[in-house]
Structure formats: C-alpha cells, structure tokens
A = this chain, B = another copy of it.
Amino acid sequence: MNLIGGIEGGGTKFICAVGTGPDDIREEIRYPTTTPGESIGRAVAFFRKFDELRAVGIACFGPLDPNPKSATFGYVTTTPKPGWANTEFAGVVQRELNIPVGFDTDVNAAALAEYRWGAAKGLDSCLYLTVGTGIGGGAVVEGKLIHGMMHPEMGHIRIPHDLAVDPYPGACPYHGDCLEGLACGPAIEARWGQRAETLPPDHPAWGLEAHYIALGLIAYIVTLSPQRIILGGGVMSQMHLFPPIRAEVQRLMNGYIQSSQMMEGIDDYIVPPVLGNRAGVLGGIALGLDALNAS
C-alpha cells in the first residue's frame, strides 16, 4: 500500500498525518508552529518512520509560490510571520525524504480535499471559502486547483460598503474594507465589541455578515460558476448563518442566473464542509497523491 504524508502548516500549529484518505489515517501528530527549521524538521522526522511513504503534500499558510516552473516553487514568500518570509519548505522536505512533494495554500488544499472526498465529491468544480481570522478561497475547475500568476486571494475583493449602515472602516491592513476587512472574525469582534461566537443568533451582526459574505459569493459565482460552494472556517461554524446567506445570494442575483442550483436548489448549492477541521491535513494528503500521480 502506498502511503501519503500530509502536512497542514498553519500559522499557529502544524498537523502531520500519514494515510491514504479520510477513512485511512495511520498516524497523526500536531505541534505548535515555531521556527521553520524546527517545524519542518519535526514533520520530516515523523514521516521517516513510514517505509511505505511514497509522497508528501503540504497545505501551507501563504502567500507562497505554488508554481513548479518557478525558481521559488515551494517557498513561503512575503508572509509577515516572523522568521518565515522567503522560507523554502517543499524543497527541504523533498531532499530529506527523496519522494515527490506537492505544495499549495491551506485553503486550496482544503478545496481539493472537499472536492475529492467531501462536500463536492462527484462534481467537476467547487469553491471552498474559509471565513475565520481571515477570509480565503480555493477553487477546483475540472478537477484541478486554480493557479496562474500565483494563487487566489479571494478575501481581498472590494464590495459595496454602506457607511451609513455600517460605519466600521474595516480590518484589512492593505485595503481597509475589502471583504476580509469587513467580514472576518476580528472585524466582527472590533465592530461589536465582543467575540463573534458570543453574539446571539438574533444579533444584527449576523444579518450584516450574511450580506457581506453573499456579496463575495456573487462575485465568485459570476466569475467561476462553481457547481457547489462550501463555506468553512470559524465564523461559519455558526450554522444559523447558512439560511440568510443563501437568501441574500438569491436576492442579490435577482434571477439573473437561472440554473436549478441558484433557483430551487440553493440549500444544496451553498453548504458546510464535510471534512470540517480535517480538510487542511487531508488536503495535504490529496496534494501528495497528485504529486505522486504527476511524478
């Protein structure tokens, strides 16, 4: 049996797992993210124990370089995280273990995992959006993750912001009131003076949140036309957000796209993740499988 290693390299913790998919995880470890040398070194030491390991996939915080043709492929690039800017990651793992290594953003990897094993299984395309400390999106089109100039940074679209309704200026250090700046968890907390998870379901925070997320989804729908949209992340663990987001997407679209998904099937179109908080490390395994198949 070919085993695959997955790394979810997050800003605060690392998760490493070995297996073949969500129903077959042989072993898993997690530890706090420290220096690149120590954090990557612990992953390599863990993977060395498995003789049958054939590939590794890395789902990493970004920005990073996912382009195999690039000189800096496999590097974390311009992150503000201390010690991690311009850090080689995939190449180190590849040289240490001498097996194929896949490398992509954590949210792209989660999109791939939900496409392969989760909420978009059996479809040709999907969008995965995480709404938490930040907002990020990944998309699969005809079975492949979207890349190009680099990787998507979907949280940073500009959306309408009515200052008379919501005077909060936005939390994004680059753009102020981009989608992430208006709708990420820290923006909710800053606007209302308490943590998002402590706000009751009937609090006006949630109607505003649904409106902003729906404005983002409109942009992604008309740009990508995904067959399903999966909303994950800490803020979206508030399941009561799903019905108002769906209703607001329909209201804003106003019948323009007359697909069955948009009209009568919206409850199956905008859905929660199936893999939950395991999408990241499983995404790593999915990236490793793809790296093995491409090698």
Contact = CB atoms under 8 A, between A and B. Distances in A.
A158 B156 contact: no
A150 B259 contact: yes
A256 B156 contact: yes
A268 to B, nearest CB: 12
A261 B142 CA distance: 26
B157 A223 contact: yes
Query: How many copies of this chain does the complex contain?
Result: 2
Contacts of A189: none
A261 B262 CA distance: 35
B141 A146 contact: yes
A87 interface: no
Contact of A156 (B137, B161, B218, B262): B218
A215 interface: yes
A75 to B, nearest CB: 13
Interface in A136-193: 137, 139, 141-142, 144, 146-161, 174-175
A252 interface: yes
Contacts of A252: 158, 175
A156 B222 contact: yes
Interface of A: 63, 77-78, 124-125, 137, 139, 141-142, 144, 146-161, 174-175, 215, 218-227, 252-259, 261-262, 269
Given A154-B222, A154-B223, A157-B157, 9 more contacts: A63-B258, A149-B221, A153-B225, A156-B222, A158-B160, A160-B161, A174-B254, A223-B223, A223-B224
